[in-house]
Structure 1
Amino acid sequence: MKRVLSVLAALLVLIALGAGWYVYSKQPTRQGTVQLANLQDSVTVRYDDRGVPHIRAENEADLYRALGYVHAQDRLFQMEIMRRLARGELAEVLGAKLLDTDKLFRSLRIRERATTYVAQMDRQSPHWKALQAYLDGINQYQDNHARPMEFDVLGIPKRPFTAEDTISVAGYLAYSFAAAFRTEPLLTYVRDQLGSDYLKVFDLDWKPKGDLGLAATDWQGLSAIARLSEQALADNGLPQFEGSNAWAISGNRTKSGKPLLAGDPHIRFSVPSVWYEAHLSAPGFELYGYHNALVPVAFLGHNKAFGWSLTMFQNDDLDLIAEKVNPDNPNQVRYHDQWVDMTTSEQQIAVKGQAPVTLTLRQSPHGPIINDVLGANAGTTPIAMWWAFLDTENPILDGFYQLNRADTLAKARQAAAKVHAPGLNIVWANAKGDIGWWAAAQLPIRPAGANAGFILDGSTPQADKLGFYPFSANPQEENPARGYVVSANAQPVSPTGMQIPGYYNLADRGQQLNTQLSDNRVKWDVENSQALQLGTTTAYGPRLLAPLLPVLREVVKDPAELKLLEQLAMWKGDYPVESVPATLFNQLLYDLTDAAFRPKLGDDMFKTLITTRVVDAALPRLAAADSPWWNRQRAETVKRAWDKSLAHLKTTFGDDPAQWQWGKAHTLTHGHPLGIKKPLDQIVNVGPFASPGSHEVPNNLSAIIGPAPWPVTYGPSTRRLVDFADAAHALTINPVGQSGVPFDKHYADQAETYIEGGYEQTHFDEEEVQANTRGTLKLLPARPPQQP
């Protein structure tokens, strides 16, 4: 028995040693020397206390090659999974369950657009050379190191990363903004199946002409497309851009006398997080930047002279178009008063463990037919897609390469004009005292009377595009007299007064920020700006509740329930973790939505509704009026929703309302793509954390409308504050950590600081970089092979 136990103990030790060696072999190297081909000179990479690389090179090519190398050793799996999602190649490594997602992304034609885009790029341009050097750094790391453990688990083979992969990821980011897939079928269904009275809560006019005549199978197919579009983005543990806050304040409104820049883009949470921080330095260039996977240029950044942040413009740059089919030829559609052939192509999708699947793709004169991905369930009406990403020149890499160097208003404006899709608000400031904001997108000219909020009729001119407006027509401000600019995804105003169709967020969050920023008694600095970024209050909740409280006071009789009702009536619309009224309000919000909308919409369209932005604006209008959605039973419906809410909260959190605290109901878990499987979730996911904030407050930690509990899905992907009187000590935070390598010390080392509202300081000056260096990696030019 002793010998058996000794053998077992030895085996366990060997297994532990083997597991330890395996994990160690996958970790990033942040100390020592590495030879890298194609370097002109040596490059120094110093890693600070958060694992951020500070890269010093003697020329730009070496700088971007080094960035690619260090980015890959921290984020190679993220790069791989993002290019596979964008290019419709997930089923090859994840199996048939991802086949529909692959079909969807193939139908978007991102692959084809990436090919034509790269073919047209100027090979002598600085941004092309930067991209090639960066990709070379990624590929050299991949070629010479062990595969990430996720590659081993999924059986992912190594293959080079290309410029087409980078542009495909840009296409994915553009698509992740697009709300049309969910919203246009919903609104068109309400218009055509329910009628004009039901559209009023969405603040839309009914356009009776051009009835699309969609059949029940068409509506089912559109619902399926909407669900697939949402699931493709939500179920893969990858970043999806959702909203954002940003503002810049002139020096006459700050304590320091210099402009102050703030920004927190709102993106779906994931592990690793979307942004990779890197401090880049070469002769004539220095930037502390925030990089996306496979993109060499920073999408956020600053130095001592200037900086910028982004929010989503949320203009409608994607139209769905119902085509009229020739009854005598199913491959023809009506276009400009004649029957026109659709083009057809085929693609093979590799599927793990089974034979490849053939996908047939069709395209009308308006764009790709997107409901073909559903096969026999697509319905009888082809639905085409016009998308600005496919139909604009979109020199976005050049634009951001220039923005990374834009130290004047004129340079920043010129760079912003090169962003065509996705639409972005660029909020910018410099140390000289300038501030600016540009809504960057190429806005299409639609025919008069065409309402882009609905599916358009392809047999009429309403689906045409008549060109694009000039950049000067885009919403923008430079050095306004009020002393600040603010962007929070609400509908902006064009200087020409034209309406800009889009799927904008509620005005409440922007109004909350504007109210505080407009107070001339306040002098702003990074301390009081933190409080503004971390705010958990808007007027939305009390605004929605106000017309419902008299109804509830009439129908609620139980003394204990009346006490809860009065707590709700006194609630200020704030979301600290200890709040009970916040929990009650959000459960009541769901049950009211469910009771009013589901009976008329049915299950599928109701599920689509609660994933859209239009529901946020609809609910206060619903609460305030005798809408047909109430079915003439407003008081009865409100009472049923109240009773159902209390019953659900008691079942979920117990009978004592004091236990219904927001932080117990509203939690954040950062999900890894492998974390959807047990027990891997315990290894690679980070959380859960009790979370303050909510949907559409400044600290926009958001969950979908639904029954408690509410897992947070998206929120601030970083929080940045830059006072240009001391830009070297800017504040920042990563929601989890810099590294995407499981078991690395920087995998989740910022997660608790983030959820508690803390910040870290960037290191910029040489003395501070040196003082905070925890490891130095020297990249040396590879020696030529010795001659025999």
Structure 2
Amino acid sequence: MKRSLKVLVVAIAAVSAGAWWYLDSKQAQRDGAVDLDHLQAPVSVRYDERGVPHIQAQNEADMYRALGYVHAQDRLFQMEMMRRLARGELAAVLGPKLVDTDRLFRTLGIRAHADAYAAKMDANSAPSQALAAYLDGINQYQTRHPAPLEFDILGIPKRPFTTADTLSVAGYMAYSFAAAFRTEPVLTYVRDELGADYLKAFDLAWHPEGVLKPSLAANDWSDLNRIARLSQQALEDAGLPQFEGSNAWAVSGSRTTSGKPLLAGDPHIRFAAPAVWYEAQLAYPGFELYGHHQALNPVASLGHNRDFGWSITMFQNDDLDLIAEKLNPDNPNQVWYQGQWVELQSRAEQIEVKGGEPVSLTLRRSPHGPIINDALGATAGKTPIAMWWAFLETENPILDAFYQLNRADSLSKARAAAEKIQAPGLNVVWANTKGDIGWWAAAQLPLRPAGVNPNFILDGSSSEADKPGFVPFSANPQEENPSRGYIVSANHQPVPASGIEIPGYYNLPDRAQRLDQRLADDRVKWDLNNSQALQLDNGSGYGPRLLKSLLPLLQTDISAEEQVLLKQLANWNGDHTLNGVAPTLFNQLVYQLTDAAMRDELGDSFFDNLLATRVLDVALPRLAADADSPWWDNRNTPAKEDRASIVKAAWQASLAHLRSTAGNDPAKWQWSTLHTLTHEHPLGKQQPLDKLFNVGAFAAPGGHETPNNLSHRVGPAPWSVVYGPSTRRLIDFAQPTQALGINPVGQSGVLFDAHYRDQAKAYMRGEYVPQHFSAEDVAANTRHTLTLNPGPAH
């Protein structure tokens, strides 16, 4: 027995030692020295207490090559998954269940567009050379080191990263902005199948006279619904960052305590592990920047230095049109375009499938753009639906734009950089130490024929789908040093001085209004402390605004318990605090009201798609205030219901659901128990891997469209937070080297790394951490130093 126990102990020790060695081999090296080919001089990489690298190089190429190397150490698997999603290559490592997602992204044309764009780029331009050096750093790391743990689990082969991969990821990011893809099918269905009276709730400029309705059959409606759902599902299932909204504001020195401008920004992006942003301080003689980088991108999307800084929000302009083409009855490969039958272009592609046979695709394109119902394969209906998308139809030198923005120390340079951002549309909010603040709605806005409403699917056989040109950048919404002393950008509909109309799927105005009301108070001098409180504001006027029309309908024939609950709602100021019961009641009621009023008309599939759109947020207060809306009648019953009966039914359904979900005691229906955030890793969707890779769950304050926009999808309790502030940044340009920020999870994407989840709890508590910048500050907070030396190839 003793001998057997000794053998067992030795075996366990050997296995443990092997496991430790295996996992340790996957960790980032942050101390010592490493040879890196193609460097011209040694590069110092000092890591601070959060694992943020501070890179000091002697020239630009060495700096970007070092960035690629250290970025890959921490985020190689994220880079791999991002390029595979964007290029339609997930099924090769995840199996047949990802074929539909791959087919969708191949159909969008991102892969083909990126390959063509990469081939025509000027390899000698500074941005191209920066990208080449960065990718070389990534590839050298990948070649020389063991593959990440996830590569081993999924059987992912190593292969070099390319310029086309970076451009493909940019396409994925742009696509995640494209709300039209998921909204236009629903709105067109409401218009054409339900009618104008139903459309009134959505506050769209709809003019029945002169509106051209494409001829769509029942299977075509099914196509559109499936495409919208596939689009949404692809983003949800990827477990990768998706842009949703954002806050940013700049306050001039006349309104700050320090007398210098203050910049605040918190882009709202789908939460994931690892987080979207990779922080790094970059420097070589004549250049320095503290930046936030996306996977496979050498230039910072957010950044600041001693002289200037910027943040971004989504413009929300509609840069994507869906177009129903008219097929030639005698030739299914021709569509009617500008008075004649023209041939559809086609190309063949193949999707590799892990554990299965390859899937062959034939992808078609009309003069308007890719035929997106090719994403449905052989089950697609007869009407080709084309997609005109600015990302595919403009020059869009976005790498050049951000390369210049990383160096823009004046208003004129920042404006020139913003002008190069053509798709997706972004608001660039900028400030500098000289006292300037600025905002540019950056996008190449298409001109559309008069009277065309791009909220709906357009008729490709007419001229309404034509794009005669683009609006000049000077006519875009923008401000520089406004007299009121501040700028707010929160995804609301902008009002350009030029007076042009800019169609878009804008967010509720309530979040922007709340920020504006506070910033407009000229009694307040802004600093880093009260700016934190504003970023962490958990309130919104939306709830009380919607409830104003509903609460009077619920005051009769109710129990004493219901009276208490309704009183809480009546006295609620819209704050989504952790200990509140009112936000729980409100958010459950929002879902039940939407379900009771709209599901019967739309059917389950279109209804589920509607829940994922921004137009629903705008529609509900209008619907609640309209007692005569046809939405109130339930088509599934012989009686004709009215607003009061539907609202009461929704209220009772809300209470019943909360009792079944959270117990019979309403005091326990607190927001903290039902509104939680889990950072999901792509492998965390499978048990028991979720216990290893996911981070959370955490009780989450804030809510849908509050400034602290920890937002969930409209649905029944409990609610999982989907997106929110991907970082919170504050820079006072009196002391720009003492900026504050936070990462929602951690800097590293390597499991068991000390920085894999080390900021997650602080983020939920609303804490901020310093972004070390000055040489003295970096030295005082350096925990590890890695030296990259020129390798033998030098």
TM-score, with length taken from structure 2: 0.98
The separation in 2 between residues aligned to 1:557 and 1:291, in whole angstroms, is: 54
Counterpart of 1:547 in 2: which secondary structure? helix
The CA deviation string for residues 394-453 of structure 1, in whole angstroms up to 9 with x for no partner, is: 011011000000000000000000000010000000000000000000000011111100
- Alignment match, 1:703: 712
- Alignment match, 1:147: 147
The separation in 2 between residues aligned to 1:99 and 1:783, in whole angstroms, is: 43
The separation in 2 between residues aligned to 1:691 and 1:681, in whole angstroms, is: 19
Q: Does 1:486 align with 2:495?
A: no
The one-letter amino acid of 2:646's match is: T
Query: Deviation of residue 142 (structure 1)?
Result: 0.3
- Alignment match, 2:745: 736
Q: Does 1:320 align with 2:322?
A: yes
1:265-664 → structure 2 map (5 Å cutoff) = 265-554=267-556, 556-626=557-627, 627-631=629-633, 632-664=641-673
- Preserved contact between residue 91 and residue 97 of structure 1 (Cα < 8 Å): yes
Query: Deviation of residue 212 (structure 1)?
Result: 1.5
The separation in 2 between residues aligned to 1:784 and 1:425, in whole angstroms, is: 43
Counterpart of 1:142 in 2: which secondary structure? helix
Query: Deviation of residue 373 (structure 1)?
Result: 1.4
The separation in 2 between residues aligned to 1:221 and 1:450, in whole angstroms, is: 23
Q: Does 1:32 align with 2:32?
A: yes
- Alignment match, 1:722: 731
- Over the matched positions of the two proteins, sequence identity in percent amounts to 68
The one-letter amino acid of 1:153's match is: I
Query: Deviation of residue 344 (structure 1)?
Result: 1.4
The CA deviation string for residues 461-494 of structure 1, in whole angstroms up to 9 with x for no partner, is: 0000011111001000000000001100000112
The separation in 1 between residues aligned to 2:22 and 2:792, in whole angstroms, is: 30
- Alignment match, 1:672: 681
The separation in 2 between residues aligned to 1:108 and 1:357, in whole angstroms, is: 17
- Preserved contact between residue 250 and residue 488 of structure 2 (Cα < 8 Å): yes
The one-letter amino acid of 2:399's match is: L
The separation in 1 between residues aligned to 2:90 and 2:43, in whole angstroms, is: 35
Query: Deviation of residue 7 (structure 1)?
Result: 2.1
1:57-96 → structure 2 map (5 Å cutoff) = 57-96=57-96
Distance 1:784 1:314, change over 3 A: closer
Counterpart of 1:550 in 2: which secondary structure? helix
- Picking from 679, 684, 694, the partner of 1:685 is 694
The CA deviation string for residues 334-370 of structure 1, in whole angstroms up to 9 with x for no partner, is: 1112111111111011000122110110111111000
Name structure 2 gaps, 5 residues minimum.
Answer: 634-640
The separation in 1 between residues aligned to 2:77 and 2:208, in whole angstroms, is: 48
The separation in 2 between residues aligned to 1:612 and 1:377, in whole angstroms, is: 26
The CA deviation string for residues 646-676 of structure 1, in whole angstroms up to 9 with x for no partner, is: 0110111110000000011000000000000
The one-letter amino acid of 1:376's match is: A
- Preserved contact between residue 553 and residue 647 of structure 2 (Cα < 8 Å): yes
- Preserved contact between residue 402 and residue 417 of structure 2 (Cα < 8 Å): yes
Query: Deviation of residue 206 (structure 1)?
Result: 4.2
- Alignment match, 2:52: 52
Counterpart of 2:479 in 1: which secondary structure? strand
Counterpart of 2:653 in 1: which secondary structure? helix
The one-letter amino acid of 1:612's match is: T
The separation in 2 between residues aligned to 1:545 and 1:696, in whole angstroms, is: 16
Query: Deviation of residue 5 (structure 1)?
Result: 2.7
Query: Deviation of residue 10 (structure 1)?
Result: 2.1
Query: Deviation of residue 11 (structure 1)?
Result: 1.8
The one-letter amino acid of 1:517's match is: L
Query: Deviation of residue 261 (structure 1)?
Result: 0.2
* Between 658-667 and 627-636, the greater mean CA deviation after superposition: 627-636
- Picking from 202, 222, 225, the partner of 2:224 is 222
Counterpart of 1:722 in 2: which secondary structure? strand
Q: Does 1:773 align with 2:769?
A: no
Query: Deviation of residue 538 (structure 1)?
Result: 1.3
- Preserved contact between residue 30 and residue 776 of structure 1 (Cα < 8 Å): yes
Counterpart of 1:35 in 2: which secondary structure? strand
The alignment's C-alpha RMSD in Å is 0.9
The separation in 2 between residues aligned to 1:513 and 1:665, in whole angstroms, is: 26
Query: Deviation of residue 376 (structure 1)?
Result: 3.0
Task: Give the paired residue count.
Answer: 784
Distance 1:784 1:78, change over 3 A: closer
Counterpart of 1:354 in 2: which secondary structure? coil
The one-letter amino acid of 2:727's match is: T
Counterpart of 1:128 in 2: which secondary structure? helix
Query: Deviation of residue 557 (structure 1)?
Result: 1.7
Query: Deviation of residue 115 (structure 1)?
Result: 1.5
Query: Deviation of residue 9 (structure 1)?
Result: 2.4
The separation in 1 between residues aligned to 2:622 and 2:112, in whole angstroms, is: 43
- Preserved contact between residue 506 and residue 616 of structure 1 (Cα < 8 Å): yes
- Alignment match, 1:180: 180
Q: Does 1:755 align with 2:756?
A: no
The one-letter amino acid of 2:203's match is: D
The separation in 1 between residues aligned to 2:213 and 2:253, in whole angstroms, is: 55
The separation in 1 between residues aligned to 2:208 and 2:257, in whole angstroms, is: 53
Query: Deviation of residue 241 (structure 1)?
Result: 0.2
- Preserved contact between residue 63 and residue 280 of structure 1 (Cα < 8 Å): yes
The separation in 2 between residues aligned to 1:176 and 1:117, in whole angstroms, is: 20
Query: Deviation of residue 784 (structure 1)?
Result: 5.1
- Preserved contact between residue 217 and residue 377 of structure 1 (Cα < 8 Å): no
The CA deviation string for residues 249-287 of structure 1, in whole angstroms up to 9 with x for no partner, is: 000000000000000000000000000000001000000
- Alignment match, 1:16: 16
Counterpart of 2:657 in 1: which secondary structure? helix
TM-score, with length taken from structure 1: 0.99
Counterpart of 2:788 in 1: which secondary structure? strand
Q: Does 1:198 align with 2:198?
A: yes
Counterpart of 2:259 in 1: which secondary structure? coil
- Preserved contact between residue 538 and residue 574 of structure 1 (Cα < 8 Å): yes
- Preserved contact between residue 191 and residue 206 of structure 1 (Cα < 8 Å): no
The CA deviation string for residues 558-595 of structure 1, in whole angstroms up to 9 with x for no partner, is: 11111111111111111011100100110011000000
The separation in 1 between residues aligned to 2:591 and 2:342, in whole angstroms, is: 46
* Off by >4 Å, runs of 4+ in structure 1: none
The one-letter amino acid of 1:132's match is: A
Counterpart of 2:225 in 1: which secondary structure? helix
- Alignment match, 1:124: 124
- Preserved contact between residue 37 and residue 793 of structure 2 (Cα < 8 Å): no
Counterpart of 2:386 in 1: which secondary structure? strand
Distance 1:723 1:69, change over 3 A: same
The separation in 2 between residues aligned to 1:418 and 1:299, in whole angstroms, is: 14
- Preserved contact between residue 199 and residue 206 of structure 1 (Cα < 8 Å): no
Distance 1:376 1:425, change over 3 A: same
1:246-257 → structure 2 map (5 Å cutoff) = 246-257=248-259
Name structure 1 gaps, 5 residues minimum.
Answer: none
Query: Deviation of residue 377 (structure 1)?
Result: 2.5
Query: Deviation of residue 84 (structure 1)?
Result: 0.3
- Preserved contact between residue 195 and residue 206 of structure 1 (Cα < 8 Å): no
The one-letter amino acid of 2:409's match is: D
The one-letter amino acid of 1:588's match is: L
Counterpart of 1:10 in 2: which secondary structure? helix
